[in-house]
Amino acid sequence: MTTFHAVLTDECGGEFGATIIAATKADAYETAREQYPESSVVQMESPMDAQERQARIQRTIAAEYDDQFCLDEDW
């Protein structure tokens, strides 16, 4: 089983988070629909998804940093 973090919107448009334990992401979406029928899922993220997202952010930051500062050797 995997612990997923879900971001949902309620019927008034407000966002809230929920922890859902499920075997797959598809099961997690189904559980969210069952437990929060008045809400819609904005994001469903497993720990692996979070690690991949963080790695993408770090790569982007590193690429931007290299482009802006590391190419100027006088800096």
Examine residue 62 and state whether it is found in any structural domain, yes or no.
yes
Torsions phi, psi for 14 (to 5 deg): -80, 145
Does residue 75 form part of some domain?
no
Number of structural domains (the chain) is 1
CATH code at position 12: 3.10.20
Domain hosting 59: range is 2-70
- Residue 47 tokens read as 């720990």
Query: What is the model's pTM?
Result: 0.74
Residue 61 is predicted with a pLDDT of: 83
Longest pairwise C-alpha distance within the chain: 60
Distance CA 48, CA 20 (A): 15
8 Å CB contact between 7 and 43? yes
pLDDT, block means (10 residues), the chain with 75 residues: 96 96 97 96 96 90 67 49
What pLDDT score was predicted for residue 67? Answer: 57
